[in-house]
Amino acid sequence: MEFIGKIFVMAIAAIFVQNFVLMRFLGLCPYIGVSKKLDSAIGMGMAVIFVMTMASTFTWLIQSYLLIPLKLEFLQTIAFILTIASLVQLVEMIIQKLAPALYKALGVYLPLITTNCAVLGVAILNINENYSFIEAILNGLFGGVGFTLVLILMAGIREKLEKAELPRAMKGMPIAMIVAGSMALAFLGFSGLKL
Amino acid sequence: MIKEFTKGFIKENPVFVMALGLCPTLAVSSSVMNAIGMGLAATFVLVCSNIMISLIKNFVPNKIHIPAYIVVIASFVTIVDMVMEAYVPALHKSLGLFIPLIVVNCIILGRAEAFAGKNNVFKSMLDGLGMGLGFTLALSVIATIREILGAGQFLGMQVLPTSYKPMLVAILAPGAFIVMGLLMGAMKLKKKK
Amino acid sequence: MSYFLKLGFVLLVITVIASGILAYVNSLTEPIILENQRKAKAEARLEVLPEAATFDSIGTFNAENVFAGKDADGNLVGYVFLASLYGYSSDVKSMVGVNKDLIVNKIKVISQTETPGLGANCIKPEFQAQFSDKGLGEMKVNKDGGPIISITGATITTRTITNSIKNGLLELEKLIPAEAETSEEVTK
């Protein structure tokens, strides 16, 4: 029971209180870039959840069983980014073989994920915060869910914005930023939550 | 030649015009000190990796361009990380996570792929320097606005009378997005004219 | 096949060269980093308990040594410990100096990355000064009915520092009896 409670706390913290996009500023490029259409936002979100969970798992193992025993902590950044890049490649190949339908939906987003800083960010955060193996995986999973949530919300708003009358200069990117600001303001309300 | 250097300041400013490298831009622009530190760290990585990549571009087969570039970039980032921790520990601490994340800053990989992989060493160096300083400039502008509005300070010094009640939201996450959005709009308006 | 071998080989060479360079830079910077950290802690200890000439470890708290500070003649003048808790967005660590009766002498926040303009104001001397001359019973924020006035807009950070000091004082109480007995023996 206590374990379930802990999972719940981690979920709320990673999804709302410390939302990767709005509070930690991670993964902004896809957040602004892939939020024009709802369909693509959902696809990107799912791909990110998947890769963030996998990346958390593997980078934690590499840090604990390879880099620390060999005293190679200074190679952390290189090791992590290479792990993520190969992971993304691998995931791409596996999905293509096993689930062609899923590949069709996610395929175009997968290569973009390597340079999504939320992925490398969660891997480094897990190490900095001394998370255990299970905590690291959950942090990756819920971090991804939080990312997807705000991405989908944003896409919903932007689809409506298309039809709104705006000053020409504010169209597109600038108004997206302002909307993101308002969302961040709303999410700030969660930050008083001390779990 | 000069054009390679100055294009990054305004015309092709990586942040305002190309909307690259948004994460560090918004995250570390809550104080001018952080913004300058981050800008210079990224500039160093950009210049070094641009030089290195234009040197090795002929030896690296096409298929593994990206992984090879990433290794080069990650190495320079790690060097910056270690050197900063040794000599400016306070700044290193407040930038924290965003130093290793320079690796995935799209500006750097973007310039490597779009420019350094195709041009000679000298031009690549100028391009890196220009883009890096453009990035630093953009960060500093945002940070100046946020620090003055949100804390009444500039570089930690009080510039507004203490009776000014700081607009805290400017320094928090929402302020970052809103200031950024307004500045982008202003840039677009200027371009239209 | 040989093409793929070549690809792998080129990548391997690049990675090996990069690792070599990094290992070299690391060997240069690591001692400086460790020395900086050691120095910063030693300076902070002296700042929060200036009467002390020597510091002897009497146990550990938060995986850091708790020190008993003694003056030049070997008389106990107080204790120093590192208080640390997770605040709003980072671990907030402060060096705390207390006198023999466990009343806080001075605190110094030595590491934090709280929100600039809000929580980060905890490094201001005016804020840190209000912990001086307070004991365990007074380690409470004004919102919870105590005497510590919280930073505007940063109750969490204030509460974190206050609680971290409270935890440290409680731990110190447990550590001291053993220490007190031994020092008594010395005076006999």
Sequence-distant (6+) residues with CB within 8 A of C35 are none
For residue C177, what pLDDT is reported?
Answer: 63
Q: List the single residue in C7, C29, C111 with the smallest CB-CB distance to B93.
A: C111
pLDDT digits (tens, 9 = 90+) for C24-67: 999 999 999 999 888 888 888 888 888 888 888 887 777 778 88
C112–chain B nearest CA distance, Å: 8
For residue A193, what pLDDT is reported?
Answer: 61
Helix (H, G, I), strand (E, B) or coil at A172: coil
- Neighboring chain C residues of B83 at a CB cutoff of 8 Å: 25, 29
Quick check: A169 and B188 CB within 8 A? yes
Looking at the complex, does the CB of residue A72 fall below 8 Å from at least one CB of chain B? no
Looking at the complex, does the CB of residue B86 fall below 8 Å from at least one CB of chain A? no
Does position B112 have pLDDT exceeding 90, yes or no?
no
Does position A185 have pLDDT exceeding 80, yes or no?
yes
Find out whether C72 and C53 touch, Cβ atoms under 8 Å: yes
Nearest CA in chain B to A24: B27
Quick check: B30 and C115 CB within 8 A? yes
For residue C188, what pLDDT is reported?
Answer: 40
For residue C184, what pLDDT is reported?
Answer: 47
Mean pLDDT, chain B, rounded, equals 87
Does position C185 have pLDDT exceeding 50, yes or no?
no
- Neighboring chain A residues of B74 at a CB cutoff of 8 Å: 77-78, 81-82
Q: Report angle CA C111, C115, C119 to the nearest 5 degrees.
A: 70
Find out whether B29 and B139 touch, Cβ atoms under 8 Å: yes
Looking at the complex, does the CB of residue B166 fall below 8 Å from at least one CB of chain C? yes
3-state helix, strand, coil in chain C (%, to 5): 50, 25, 25
Distance from C-alpha of A81 to C-alpha of A165, rounded to nearest angstrom: 42
Q: How confident is the model at residue B192 (pLDDT cuts 50, 70, 90)?
A: low
Look up tokens 């990312």; give the residue: A147
Q: What is the mean pLDDT of residues A10-23?
A: 88
Q: Between the CA of residue B70 and those of A12, B52, B66, what are the distances in Å?
A: 34, 12, 6
- Neighboring chain B residues of A81 at a CB cutoff of 8 Å: 70, 74, 103-104
Q: Report angle CA A95, A98, A102 to the nearest 5 degrees.
A: 50
Find out whether B182 and A185 touch, Cβ atoms under 8 Å: no
Find out whether B28 and B38 touch, Cβ atoms under 8 Å: yes
Helix (H, G, I), strand (E, B) or coil at C83: strand
Mean pLDDT, chain A, rounded, equals 87
Instruction: Count CB-CB contacts under 10 A for residue A189.
Output: 9
Quick check: B89 and C153 CB within 8 A? no
Looking at the complex, does the CB of residue C12 fall below 8 Å from at least one CB of chain B? no
Query: What tokens appear for A64 in the block?
Result: 């604990």
Q: Report angle CA A139, C119, B138 to the nearest 5 degrees.
A: 80
Find out whether C163 and C136 touch, Cβ atoms under 8 Å: no
For residue B62, what pLDDT is reported?
Answer: 81
Q: List the single residue in C19, C88, C89 with the smallest CB-CB distance to A75.
A: C19
Looking at the complex, does the CB of residue C11 fall below 8 Å from at least one CB of chain A? no
Q: What is the mean pLDDT of residues B95-120?
A: 87
Does position B31 have pLDDT exceeding 90, yes or no?
no
Quick check: C7 and B63 CB within 8 A? yes
The DSSP element (H or E) to which C153 belongs, if any, is none
ipTM value greater than 0.95: no
Query: What tokens appear for C98 in the block?
Result: 């207390």
Looking at the complex, does the CB of residue B78 fall below 8 Å from at least one CB of chain C? yes
For residue B30, what pLDDT is reported?
Answer: 85
Bigger pLDDT: C55 or A194?
C55
Q: How confident is the model at residue C179 (pLDDT cuts 50, 70, 90)?
A: low
Q: Which residue from A87, A35, A72, A29 is spatially nearest to B104, judged by alpha carbons?
A: A29
Does position C84 have pLDDT exceeding 80, yes or no?
yes
Distance from C-alpha of C31 to C-alpha of B89, rounded to nearest angstrom: 13
Looking at the complex, does the CB of residue A138 fall below 8 Å from at least one CB of chain B? no
Nearest CA in chain C to A75: C19
C40–chain A nearest CA distance, Å: 21
Q: What is the mean pLDDT of residues B69-98?
A: 90
Does position A178 have pLDDT exceeding 70, yes or no?
yes
A103–chain B nearest CA distance, Å: 22
- For residue C173, count CB atoms less than 10 angstroms from its CB and return exposed for 0-12, middle for 13-18, buried for 19 or more: exposed
pLDDT digits (tens, 9 = 90+) for A102-140: 787 776 777 778 878 899 999 999 998 888 999 999 999
Size of interface B-C (CB pairs under 8 A): 75
pLDDT digits (tens, 9 = 90+) for C85-110: 888 777 888 899 998 888 888 898 88
- Neighboring chain B residues of C30 at a CB cutoff of 8 Å: 82
Looking at the complex, does the CB of residue C18 fall below 8 Å from at least one CB of chain A? yes
Q: List the single residue in B67, B71, B174 with the smallest CB-CB distance to A188.
A: B174
Q: What is the mean pLDDT of residues A165-183?
A: 88
Helix (H, G, I), strand (E, B) or coil at C53: coil
Encode B139-187 in three state secondary structure.
HHHHHHHHHHHHHCEECCEECCCCCCCCCHHHCCHHHHHHHHHHHHHHH
DSSP bridge pairs for B154: B157
Looking at the complex, does the CB of residue C16 fall below 8 Å from at least one CB of chain B? no
Q: Which of A71, A194, A195 is the best mutation test for C, with the most CBs of C within 10 A?
A: A194
Listed in order, strand segments (DSSP E) in chain B are 153-154, 157-158
Distance from C-alpha of A94 to C-alpha of B184, rounded to nearest angstrom: 40
Q: Between the CA of residue C177 and those of B62, B106, C56, C180, what are the distances in Å?
A: 70, 58, 16, 5
For residue B193, what pLDDT is reported?
Answer: 59
Looking at the complex, does the CB of residue C26 fall below 8 Å from at least one CB of chain A? yes
Most confident range (mean pLDDT) of A93-97, A156-160, B41-45 is: B41-45
DSSP-derived letter for residue A166 is -
Q: Report angle CA C113, A54, A63 to the nearest 5 degrees.
A: 60
Quick check: C156 and A194 CB within 8 A? yes
